[in-house]
Amino acid sequence: MKLTCVSRELHPRHAFRISRGQRDEVRNVFVRLEGDGLAGYGEASPNAFYQETWEDVMEKIEAARAFMETLELQTVAGIEAAWAKIWEIVAPSRAALCALDLAMWDWLARRRGVSVTKLMWDRQPQPVTTFCTIGLSSAEELAVKVEEVRTFPRIKIKSDASASLSTVKYVRGRTAAQLAVDANCAWGGADLRALSQELAALHVIFIEQPYPPARDADLAGARSVLPLLADESCVVEEDVPRIGGLFDAFNIKLVKCGGLTPARRMVLRGKVLRQTMMVGCMLESSALIAAGAAVAQRTSYADLDGAWLIADDPFRGWQFAGGVLTPPPGPGLGVEPEAGLF
């Protein structure tokens, strides 16, 4: 095997703001794993909230190079065993682990001539309906963003510490889409029951991460009338049983948990516990989005608009149109890099 690792700056089409700040660019890390005339691709979108930087990710991937280049992948069980060994090398960087894990799944699926979805779930990939995100916006920005998405089936609206309903009301007045609201931990001082009642009247279907993880216990007495979905409070597979009595659902992000291997286990565990699940994303290229779409074949919701939100996607993959991702015909993740990326 031969491993290649590069970083690339990506730029949102619109200023991307959440309660923790604004991002005008991100630098993601991309890997290519080559062997037997085939190449598998992976990606990491490191996030400062999880104490990860692109420099750290590249350093950890370099540390795993010797192991990766001795791999002889033949089975899914082989990927799982390699994942555990890679974690010993790259810990605590789950973003680095994610990139390498995706490359292994992509390579093995290509070798077998099947999609990653088929390799993971023994089924063919189907189109995925995704939430499309409206970040914190000025009045002028909001008008433009709503016009882009008003005919889409599902829209997620970011909120901040003000817990203002003005944006939700504006969007609801212009679309019949299903709406969700994501506070990104910002509602620490809010009356969650009262807010949830007002949002329910606007036909919002769930609230994502209202409080910071340190205040998870407070949710038990908050008495929200809407389902609560955990994001920052559910990072790795060990969190799934813990959050069950506090949240009604959880968000799986591959960069948070360490790739497809643990995401698959999270889905299976969530099914046993009868929990509702969503697959989410950061600002990502079509490589990570394709991996998320494979996981989304078994979840109730997907929030996989990361590649649609950026202006300079360096991969071709699942096609986004009207809030729906359609799978490509090729094997593996079905993605290919632009010329010159590697």
Could you give the domains of the chain? 2-121 (3.30.390.10), 128-337 (3.20.20.120)
Of the candidates 221, 182, 215, the residue with the CA atom closest to the CA atom of residue 199: 182
User: For 100-136, what is each residue's pLDDT tens digit?
Assistant: 999 999 999 999 999 999 999 999 999 999 999 998 8
Note the pTM of the prediction, 2 decimals: 0.95
Token readout for 155 is: 């829209």
Distance of CA 57 to the CA centre of its chain: 17
The number of residues in the chain equals 342
Instruction: Quote the Cα angle for 243-247-248, to 5°.
Output: 120
Q: What is the mean pLDDT of residues 234-238?
A: 96
User: For 280-318, what is each residue's pLDDT tens digit?
Assistant: 999 999 999 999 999 999 999 999 999 999 999 999 999
What is the pLDDT, as a whole number, of residue 48?
A: 87
